[in-house]
């Protein structure tokens, strides 16, 4: 069962947290993620930012990553680049998907199709919140959905406040937006979108959470300077230099008159920008795949955790000596305490 329409609540326009987002973050949230055809009934969508650049004529990878960082900081959307998934965190509650037992089963099925363990845990946490705030919905007690939802509520959870940011995007303005046509020159419009809102807010229709500054992130997306683009041979600086935006005649004095050569230069520059972005994302994807393989091997070899990498509700560190080390520490503490008690008893005996 796929989504046929998206439900957008009008109270977003009055929510301070939403209004504090950048315009690009609002656009990514409301006009891209919420209407994404891949968005499942538990709020999971594909996260392939290079593909998203095709959603608007002037949309660049820099703008998408900057907007994603803002949404993540405000906890409107959470990301797992390793599995290429994004979670629209409050979709289940805001769309009231648990009101209908059959729709609740669609939520359960969507959860089961989610690859990211981190995002699955946050979805489970959102279900607990829905159980508290939407307890009157029939799906919690209906025979069709009661057991399935009950099993989900027993799975590991992760509070959004404990989620570690996966995206940081220091904007370099490497990519620029170009306005022009095939027979005219392209006027360069610098991408002025920068992350300035570091005050994270709570998503609308959800409980407010205080967030701490993130000291470190598991995944960093950084835009490389023009002198260090990926995929060059022999470190030839000229090979890394982006092609000009204008023809040789207008390179220093851009014209507002139609110029076929300038239009061709613009198309060459756009193709070059796409190649560089694709190379960057390919390198990121390969690194994510390598980390995922290492993680899978560690889970397979670990004798402590389950097949999902958890010990109970805790992420396993795959340290097989930890329990023995803890036991030795406890024994040492008990031995020290026993020795002190014996010394105290001996002292009391001497005093008598």
pLDDT tens column, 37-59: 899 999 999 999 999 999 998 89
- What is the band of 267 on the pLDDT scale with cuts at 50, 70, 90? confident
Distance CA 45, CA 194 (A): 25
Q: Is the pLDDT of residue 307 over 50?
A: yes
pLDDT in tens, 142-201: 999 999 999 999 999 999 988 989 986 544 443 434 333 333 333 433 343 333 333 333
Q: Is the pLDDT of residue 4 over 90?
A: no
Give 108 or 226, the one with higher predicted confidence: 108
In terms of DSSP H, where are the helices of the chain? Answer: 16-19, 23-27, 49-52, 61-73, 91-94, 101-112, 117-133, 146-153, 237-240, 260-301, 322-351
Q: What phi and psi values does residue 189 have, to the nearest 5 degrees?
A: -115, 105
- What is the band of 130 on the pLDDT scale with cuts at 50, 70, 90? very high
pTM: 0.51
For strands 44-46 and 85-88, give the pairing: antiparallel
Q: How high is the pLDDT of residue 168?
A: 65
Residues in the chain: 352
Q: By the 8 A CB rule, do 198 and 169 touch?
A: no
């Amino acid at each position: 069962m796929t989504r046929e329409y998206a439900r957008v609540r009008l109270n977003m326009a009055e929510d301070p947290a939403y209004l504090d987002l950048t315009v690009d973050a609002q656009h990514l949230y409301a006009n891209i993620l919420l209407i994404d055809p891949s968005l499942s009934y538990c709020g999971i969508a594909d996260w392939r930012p290079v593909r998203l650049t095709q959603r608007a004529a002037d949309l660049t990878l820099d703008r998408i990553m900057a907007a994603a960082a803002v949404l993540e900081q405000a906890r409107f959307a959470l990301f797992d680049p390793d599995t290429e998934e994004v979670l629209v965190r409050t979709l289940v509650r805001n769309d009231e998907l648990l009101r209908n037992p059959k729709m609740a089963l669609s939520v359960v099925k969507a959860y089961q199709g989610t690859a990211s363990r981190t995002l699955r845990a946050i979805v489970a946490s959102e279900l607990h919140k829905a159980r508290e705030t939407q307890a009157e919905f029939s799906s919690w007690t209906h025979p069709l959905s009661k057991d399935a939802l009950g099993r989900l509520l027993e799975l590991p959870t992760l509070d959004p406040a404990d989620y570690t940011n996966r995206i940081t995007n220091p904007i370099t303005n490497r990519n620029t937006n170009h306005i022009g046509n095939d027979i005219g020159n392209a006027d360069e419009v610098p991408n002025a979108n920068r992350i300035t809102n570091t005050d994270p807010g709570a998503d609308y229709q959800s409980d407010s959470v205080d967030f701490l500054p993130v000291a470190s992130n598991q995944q960093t997306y950084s835009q490389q300077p023009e002198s260090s683009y990926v995929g060059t041979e022999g470190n030839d600086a000229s090979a890394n230099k982006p092609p000009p935006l204008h023809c040789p005649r207008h390179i220093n004095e851009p014209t507002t008159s139609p110029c076929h050569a300038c239009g061709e230069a613009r198309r060459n520059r756009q193709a070059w920008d796409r190649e560089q972005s694709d190379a960057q994302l390919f390198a990121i994807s390969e690194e994510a795949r390598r980390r995922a393989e290492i993680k899978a091997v560690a889970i397979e070899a670990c004798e402590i955790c389950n097949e999902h990498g958890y010990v109970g509700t805790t992420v396993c560190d795959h340290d097989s000596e930890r329990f023995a080390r803890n036991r030795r520490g406890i024994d040492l503490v008990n031995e020290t305490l026993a020795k002190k008690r014996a010394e105290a008893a001996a002292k009391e005996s001497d005093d008598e």
